[in-house]
Structure 1
Amino acid sequence: MGHLITVATSLNQWSLDFQGNLERILASIRIAKERGATLRVGPELEVTGYGCQDHFLEGDTCLHSWEVLAKILESEDTQGILCDIGMPVMHKNVIYNCRVVIYSGKILLIRPKMWLANDGNYRELRWFTPWMKHRYTEDHYLPRIIHAVTGQTKVPFGDAVVSTVDTCIGIELCEELFTPSSPHILMGLDGVEIFTNSSGSHHELRKLYTRVELIKEATMKLGGIYLYANQQGCDGDRLYYDGCAMIAVNGHIIAQGSQFSMQDVEVVSATIDIEDVRAHRATSSRSMQAAGAERYQRIEVDFALSGGKFSGIADGRTLASRTFEVRYHRPEEEIALGPACWLWDYLRRSRTQGYFVPLSGGIDSCATSIIVFSMCRLVAEAAVRGDEQVIADARRIAGEPEDSSYLPSDPREFAKRIFHTCYMGTENSSTETRARARQLAEAIGSYHTDLNMDTVVTAILSLFSFVTGVKPQYRIHGGSAAENLALQNIQARLRMVLSYMFAQLLPWVRGRSGGLLVLGSANVDESLRGYLTKYDCSSADVNPIGAISKTDLKRFIAYARDAFELPILEDFLDAVPTAELEPITENYVQADEADMGMTYDELSVFGRLRKVEKCGPYSVFTKLVHEWGSFLSPVQIAEKVKLFFFEYARNRHKMTTLTPSYHAEQYSPDDNRFDLRPFLYPSRFPWQFKKIDEVAATLPDRSNKDPEGVKTKTA
Structure 2
Amino acid sequence: MERNFTNLSDFGYFRVSAVSPELRVANVHFNVEQILQSLKLLDEKSVQIAVFPELCLTGYTCGDLFFQETLLAEVKKGLEKLVEESSKFNLIFIVGFPLRVESKLYNCAGIVGNGKLYGVVPKTYIPNTREFYEKRWFGSNLQTRIISLFEENVPFGNDLVFISEDNSEISFGVEICQDLWAVEPISTKLANLGAKLIFNLSASDEWIGKAEYRRNLVLSQSARLNCGYIYAGSGPWESTTDMVFSGHCIIAENGKLLAESRNFSFKTEYVVSDIDIQLLTKERNYNDTFSSSDLSMTSKVSVKLRDLNTVDFFRKVRKHPFIPEDLLERASVCNEVFNIQSTGLARRLLQIKSKDVVIGVSGGLDSTLALLVCIETFRKLDFPLSGIHAIIMPGFGTSKKTFTNARQLCQLLGLSVEVIDIKKSVALHLNEIDVDIKEQNLVFENAQARERTQILMDLANKYNGIVVGTGDLSEIALGWSTYNADHMSMYNVNAGIPKTLVRFVIDWASDNLFDNRVRKVLKNILALPSTPELLQSDGKEINQVTEEIVGPFELNDFFMYYSVRYGFSPKKIFYLAKVAFSECYSDMEIYKWLVNYYKRFFVNQFKRSCMPDGPKVGAIDLSPRGNWRMPSDAEYEIWTKELENIKSKV
Give me the TM-score of the superposition, normalised by structure 2.
0.47
Give me the TM-score of the superposition, normalised by structure 1.
0.43
